[in-house]
């Protein structure tokens, strides 16, 4: 089998989720950073069902989306690593889906609503890292045109940032509530894909030292203050522990 190729944006927390799953299962892979704006064309050319990153090019075709990539890893698992399905797979998947659909989207919108509106230059390096020189130059030259497209595409702005913060606060209330009985993992006593998803998608709010790229992010003041205010919440302490123990 040829090593699969994982196409990513360096900063993307969904890409970090897929990467972590490949690492968990010990699946050697090539990491390919894609330039924003070219990812959909590449995905289409490879035959991916959707254009967002991450997508994984394998001998059997392209696997699109972080959740499908975990499914694919489970099917390979030639090293017989611990399955991430958990004892109650439906419950585990329901938690993962809620994180994918709500938390992942609003972590991103909360951060970009501040960073891309107030200090877009601080975001550019994380979209250039890992790219070949000519693409880094293209991102630099095209940045003033890329930013408004991202603002529109993700519906960013001050009001949207406040709204996403409120959504995240409610989701953290829900997650904190799950830990009140002292369970070590979200669905009970075992590390599952729900835990990996929670840690990867909330990781940018915690910036754990084991995170492969979050150290490159300059957090705007408003986002940093929120990170500090929330740092002791059980769900975010959990994220820190998951990175320390499992990453
Ligand atoms: N549910 C998808 C979400 C992926 C996603 O939203 N990816 C973002 C990067 S964080 C993206 O590619 N955005 C640009 C686009 O969709 O064109 C997954 O879990 O993989």
For residue 192, give the CATH number of its domain. Answer: 1.20.1050
Cα-atom radius of gyration of the chain, to the nearest Å? 18
| 1 close to 25: Cβ distance less than 8 angstroms | no
Full-model pTM: 0.96
Q: Which atom of ligand 1 is nearest to the CA of 52?
A: 12
Q: Which atom of ligand 1 is nearest to the CA of 39?
A: 17
Residue 213 belongs to some domain of the structure: yes
Number of structural domains in the chain: 2
84 within domain boundaries: no
71: pLDDT strictly greater than 80: yes
Are residues 106 and 112 in contact, defined by beta-carbon separation less than 8 angstroms?
Answer: no
Q: How confident is the model at residue 79 (pLDDT cuts 50, 70, 90)?
A: confident
How much is the pLDDT for 129? 87
If asked whether residues 29 and 65 sit together in one domain, one would say: yes
Dihedral of CA 11/13/14/20: which sign?
positive
* pLDDT (0 to 100) of residue 242: 98
Q: Is the pLDDT of residue 239 over 90?
A: yes
pLDDT of residue 191: 97
What's residue 130's pLDDT?
87
What's the confidence (pLDDT) of residue 211? Answer: 92
What value does the mean pLDDT take over residues 228-236?
98
| Cα 210 from Cα 199, distance rounded (Å) | 11
Give the integer Cα–Cα distance in Å for 186 and 180. 11
Tell me, yes or no, whether 62 and 116 share the same domain: no
Closest-CA residue, ligand 1 atom 10, reads: 12
Q: Which residues line ligand 1 (CB under 6 A)?
A: 9, 12, 14, 40, 51-54, 65-67, 100, 108
Last residue of a domain, one of 27, 52, 76: 76
Residues 159 and 222 in one domain: yes
Nearest CA to ligand 1 atom 13: 52
Contact at 8 Å (CB) between 122 and 115?
Answer: yes
Please say whether the beta carbons of 239 and 202 come within 8 A. Answer: yes
Domain that holds residue 219: 89-246
What is the 15 CA–ligand 1 centroid distance (Å)? 8
- Give, for 5, the enclosing helix (H) or strand (E): strand 5-8
β-pairing, 30-33 with 5-8?
parallel
How confident is the prediction for the chain on average, in pLDDT?
95
81-90: pLDDT as tens digits: 899 999 999 9
**Structure-block tokens of residue 120:** 């877009």
Report the C-alpha gap between 32 and 30 in whole angstroms: 6
Q: Are residues 222 and 171 in the same domain?
A: yes
Residues 70 and 121 in one domain: no
């Amino acid at each position: 089998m040829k090593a699969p190729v994982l196409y990513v944006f360096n900063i993307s927390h969904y890409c970090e989720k897929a990467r972590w799953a490949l690492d968990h299962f010990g699946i050697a892979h090539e990491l390919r950073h894609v330039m924003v704006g070219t990812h959909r064309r590449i995905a289409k050319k490879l035959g991916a069902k959707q254009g967002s990153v991450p997508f994984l090019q394998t001998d059997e075709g392209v696997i699109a989306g972080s959740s499908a990539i975990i499914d694919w890893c489970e099917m390979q698992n030639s090293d017989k690593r611990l399955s991430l399905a958990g004892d109650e797979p439906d419950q585990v998947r329901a938690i993962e889906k809620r994180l994918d659909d709500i938390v992942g989207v609003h972590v991103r919108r909360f951060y970009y609503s501040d960073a891309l509106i107030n200090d877009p230059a601080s975001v550019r390096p994380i979209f250039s890292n890992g790219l070949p020189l000519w693409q880094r130059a293209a991102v630099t030259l095209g940045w003033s045109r890329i930013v408004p497209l991202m603002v529109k595409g993700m519906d960013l702005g001050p009001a949207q940032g406040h709204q996403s913060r409120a959504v995240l606060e409610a989701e953290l209330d829900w997650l904190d509530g799950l830990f009140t009985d002292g369970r070590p993992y979200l669905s009970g006593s075992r590390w599952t894909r729900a835990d990996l998803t929670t840690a990867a998608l909330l990781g940018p709010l915690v910036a754990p030292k084991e995170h492969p790229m979050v150290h490159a992010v300059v957090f705007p003041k408003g986002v940093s203050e929120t990170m500090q205010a929330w740092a002791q919440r059980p769900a975010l302490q959990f994220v820190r522990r998951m990175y320390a123990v499992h990453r």
